[in-house]
């Protein structure tokens, strides 16, 4: 294990990669004598002597760490190592990512690339995901180097097929499959496809589009059988002249992230994705829940615990870390949370998570649905999104130790911006007719535009502060549901928050009591407004919100508005069983 001095700042270009440009910067008195402080001239941060050693924060001796790293190099599974050494799986992952720096590791099936190497090298080259598409395309040599590594990984992983995935404006996952022999050509030149057949893309007369795989999203699909192994890439959509397509949701998010980057901010998100598992009958989907379990129920009542475990195994194999999974309130309802990250990676992870959940559920003879309100009288499925802004050095800008809620002035302005645009924002984060069957009083889904900490009926909740967890300071937007397009949702959320910061907006006073119990007069006195109660009202609010329209761009807004108007018109003309039961015999 390396004992070299390195910079432990995760946002530094020399983060745990080389000795870097580090100089002594004062000293401090420890129990065992004087210790030095250092400064990294690359990022400007100062660190203690212990922070610059290999064992900082491990609470373990070097022999144990060395044994674990040795096992990883031999290809022993992380879960097996966790059991053998009696340490947490997350700890094993952390040690692997921290100390295993070589590009190739031994596995049961021969040598393979260590999954962290590609990301680390991309950071060193300055081609991280937060940069604009134009910046990433400026140096063909850099792209070629990354592409070559991906080609080597695909060969080492014995991949036969490549899945190129992207989303339409409604968040539906689209995919085209190519044989691995075509991968090099597609990485270099992209793949032509007919964009006129994709919701919200282009007209037939403008149909030619290009898929550009993002090399950093390469992942092996773990449930594919030997001999037919597949890997997937998430793609950006370009026009024939090589520019990012204005209707590509991923490019829309990148554009707003670039705006935040110019202001010195890194936008992090952590969505909590809820879903239902339903039984199938003769291959047909039913609305019969897979179990009768409730919130946090134990496996005796929670029949899907094994399904969730298989989902976690698949996510781990695809390079994602699940913070938690559990049974939710409704029968057959579940939640899987993936660790927060920068917004682009988080949106990619959300798309991947939904793909994994549906695939694993199908293997168990079940159907996974992300419909916001599939069952009358039961809890709806949300996608609460935790948000925070960091600076380029990795400091959480939402934190202020002196404030009651531990929020900075910047955080309050961000909060105020989202509250001011909440009505229009709802159209993007709760984009279906069915979404508004979830956003009703009596459940935990928000209806009123307010914020608080202990109040879970609020639109935005501020999780409680824990000593020593300043970096976890965040705010939780509770109206999104999993039917939304995460790229558009995160773009709109960030855009409204940045507007609040630019204008130094101030939020209203917090509301800590149950808003559902306030009468109309109390709501008026406190100036607490309501969210739209239908997708029709929401898109009308969106049509009047120039800020979110600017974030989406004219092309995407026009197509989104048209699609949602048609959806509502189709819905309002239906004759439902409720109407027949209510009126047919009575009238």
Which positions are annotated as active-site residues?
Answer: 194, 272, 274, 328, 335, 384, 456, 476, 478
Answer whether 325's CB lies under 8 Å from 337's CB. Answer: yes
Considering only CA atoms, which of 252, 163, 133 is closest in space to residue 201? 252
Give the 3-state secondary structure percentages of the chain, helix then strand then coil, rounded to 5.
40, 20, 40
Distance CA 155, CA 274 (A): 36
Surface-to-core class of residue 131, CB atoms within 10 Å of its CB (0-12 exposed, 13-18 middle, 19+ buried): middle
Answer whether 211's CB lies under 8 Å from 193's CB. Answer: yes
Surface-to-core class of residue 380, CB atoms within 10 Å of its CB (0-12 exposed, 13-18 middle, 19+ buried): buried
For helices 422-429 and 409-420, angle between their N-to-C axes, nearest 10 degrees: 80
> Strand pairing of 33-40 and 22-30?
antiparallel
Radius of gyration of the chain (CA): 25
Considering only CA atoms, which of 439, 405, 428, 408 is closest in space to residue 560? 428
Considering only CA atoms, which of 265, 264, 286 is closest in space to residue 277? 286
- Tokens 């913070």 correspond to what residue? 323
Please state, in angstroms and as integers, the Cα–Cα distance from residue 565 to each residue in 87, 117, 159, 283, 571, following that order.
54, 46, 43, 33, 10
């Amino acid at each position: 294990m390396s004992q070299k001095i390195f910079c432990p700042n995760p946002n530094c270009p020399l983060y745990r990669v080389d000795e870097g440009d580090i100089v002594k910067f004062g000293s401090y008195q420890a129990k065992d004598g004087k210790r030095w402080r250092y400064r990294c001239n690359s990022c400007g941060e100062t660190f203690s002597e212990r922070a610059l050693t290999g064992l900082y924060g491990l609470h373990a001796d070097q022999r144990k760490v060395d044994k674990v790293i040795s096992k990883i190099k031999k290809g022993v599974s992380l879960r097996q190592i966790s059991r053998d050494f009696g340490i947490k799986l997350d700890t094993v992952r952390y040690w692997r990512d921290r100390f295993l720096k070589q590009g190739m590791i031994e596995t049961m099936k021969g040598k393979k690339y260590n999954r962290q190497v590609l990301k680390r090298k991309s950071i060193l080259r300055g081609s991280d995901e937060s940069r604009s598409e134009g910046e990433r395309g400026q140096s063909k040599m850099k792209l070629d180097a990354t592409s070559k590594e991906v080609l080597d990984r695909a060969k080492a992983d014995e991949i036969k097929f490549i899945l190129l995935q992207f989303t339409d404006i409604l968040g539906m996952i689209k995919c085209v499959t190519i044989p691995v022999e075509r991968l090099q050509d597609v990485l270099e030149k992209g793949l032509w496809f007919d964009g006129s057949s994709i919701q919200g893309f282009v007209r037939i007369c403008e149909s030619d589009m290009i898929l550009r795989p993002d090399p950093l999203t390469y992942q092996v699909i773990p449930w594919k059988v030997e001999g037919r192994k597949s890997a997937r890439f998430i793609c950006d959509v370009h026009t024939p002249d090589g520019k990012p397509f204005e209707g590509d949701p991923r490019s829309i998010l990148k554009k707003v992230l670039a705006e935040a980057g110019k202001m010195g901010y890194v936008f992090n998100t952590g969505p909590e994705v809820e879903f239902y598992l339903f039984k199938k009958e003769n291959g047909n989907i039913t609305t019969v829940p897979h179990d009768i379990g409730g919130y946090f129920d134990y496996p005796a009542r929670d029949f899907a615990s094994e399904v969730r475990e298989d989902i976690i195994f698949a996510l781990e194999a695809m390079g994602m870390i699940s913070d938690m999974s559990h049974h939710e309130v409704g029968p057959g309802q579940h939640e899987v949370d993936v660790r927060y990250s920068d917004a682009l990676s988080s949106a990619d992870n959300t798309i991947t998570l939904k793909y994994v959940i549906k695939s694993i559920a199908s293997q168990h003879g079940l159907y996974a649905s992300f419909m916001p309100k599939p069952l009358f009288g039961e809890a709806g499925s949300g996608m609460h999104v935790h948000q925070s802004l960091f600076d380029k050095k990795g400091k959480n800008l939402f934190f202020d130790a002196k404030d009651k809620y531990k929020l900075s002035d910047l955080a309050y302005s961000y909060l105020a911006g989202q509250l001011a645009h909440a009505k229009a924002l709802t159209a993007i984060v709760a984009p279906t007719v069915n979404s508004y069957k979830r956003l009703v009083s009596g459940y935990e889904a928000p209806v009123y535009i307010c914020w608080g900490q202990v109040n879970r009926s609020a639109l935005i909740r501020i999780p409680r502060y824990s000593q020593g967890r300043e970096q976890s300071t965040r705010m939780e937007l509770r109206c999104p549901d999993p039917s939304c397009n995460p790229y558009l949702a995160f773009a709109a959320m960030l855009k409204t928050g940045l507007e609040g910061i630019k204008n130094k907006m101030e939020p209203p006073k917090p509301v800590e009591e149950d808003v559902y119990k306030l009468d109309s007069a109390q709501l008026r006195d406190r100036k607490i407004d309501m969210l739209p109660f239908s997708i029709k009202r929401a898109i009308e609010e969106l049509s009047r919100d120039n800020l979110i329209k600017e974030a989406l761009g004219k092309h995407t807004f026009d197509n989104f508005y048209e699609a949602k108007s048609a959806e509502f018109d189709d819905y309002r003309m239906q004759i439902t069983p409720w109407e027949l039961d209510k009126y047919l015999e009575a009238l």
